Amino acid sequence: MEPTAPPVAPAAGKPGVLEGANFAQPKVNKARTFSPEGQEKYSALAGRPVKTVEDLAAAIRDGKIQPSQLPVDYVIIDGQKVILNTRTSAALEGAGVPRSQWHGQDQTGVQVPGEQPGITFNDLAKGQIERNGLPPTGTPTPPK
């Protein structure tokens, strides 16, 4: 009996909404690793260990994970969409997935789970932008 592919989760977010979006960070952390929670989530989706951006890109290229299974959070700042998921974005880019196939999830004004009341995804984006010395609406250059 041949192994079957893992079931594809329902589409997360809306496809194509991130074309022309900016990024809140210009680069991925030096180790290019996901958080322990991200590693657990992506490894479960892929059915094999996923620790780094390169691991996730390979799982996407191999068809183990579909772009629709990878919601990319964004917020709107001064009318500009700003992407928060730097490593996931880098993996999608590395796998050659066009932005028209990325599934954006609008988190504008949404409370961040586990944070103090009143801390929104917009606050996270603004903090990333400030720490990286970027213009107020981020950078159009994909993270490296």
Pairing of strands 14-15, 22-23: unpaired
Q: Tell me the residue length of the chain.
A: 144
Angle between helices 36-46 and 53-61 (to 10 degrees): 20
pLDDT averaged per 10 residues in sequence order, the chain, 144 residues: 40 81 91 93 96 97 95 96 95 95 95 90 96 95 86
Residue of 144, 138, 143, 105 lying closest to 21 (CA atoms): 138
This prediction has a pTM of 0.86
